[in-house]
Amino acid sequence: MTACIVGWSHTPFGKHDSETVESLIVRVTNEALAHAGIGPQDVDEIVLGHYNAGFTPQDFTASLVLQADDGFRFKPATRVENACATGSAAVHQGIKTIEAKRARVVLVVGVEQMTRTPGPEIGKTLLKASYLPEDGDNPAGFAGVFGNIAGAYFQRHGDQSDALAMIAAKNHHNGVQNPYAQMRKDLGFEFCRTESDKNPFVAGPLKRTDCSLVSDGAAAVVLADTETALRMRRAVAFRATAHAQDFLPMSKRDVLKFEGAAAAWARALSQAGITLDDLSLVETHDCFTVAELIEYEAMGLTREGRGADAIREGWTTKEGKLPVNASGGLKAKGHPIGATGVSMHALSAMQLCGEAGGMQIPDATLAGVFNMGGVAVANYVSVLERIK
* Full-model pTM: 0.98
Question: Using one digit for the tens of pLDDT, what is the confidence trace for 24-79?
Answer: 999 999 999 999 999 999 999 999 999 987 899 999 999 999 999 999 999 999 99
Contact 216, 113 (CB under 8 A): yes
Pairing state between β 366-373 and 281-283:
parallel
Helix axes 141-157, 119-127, angle to 10 degrees: 60
| Polymer length of the chain | 388
Question: Using one digit for the tens of pLDDT, what is the confidence trace for 318-360?
Answer: 999 999 999 999 999 999 999 999 999 999 999 999 999 999 9
Helix axes 289-298, 141-157, angle to 10 degrees: 50
Query: Measured between alpha carbons, how far is residue 326 from residues 225, 262, 284, 309 in Å?
Result: 28, 21, 10, 18
Q: Which CATH class is domain 3-114+215-229?
A: alpha beta
Cα angle, residue 165 at apex, residues 163 and 167 outer, rounded to 5°? 70
Question: Using one digit for the tens of pLDDT, what is the confidence trace for 148-173?
Answer: 999 999 999 999 999 999 999 999 99
Ranges of each domain in the chain: 3-114+215-229
Contact 382, 369 (CB under 8 A): yes
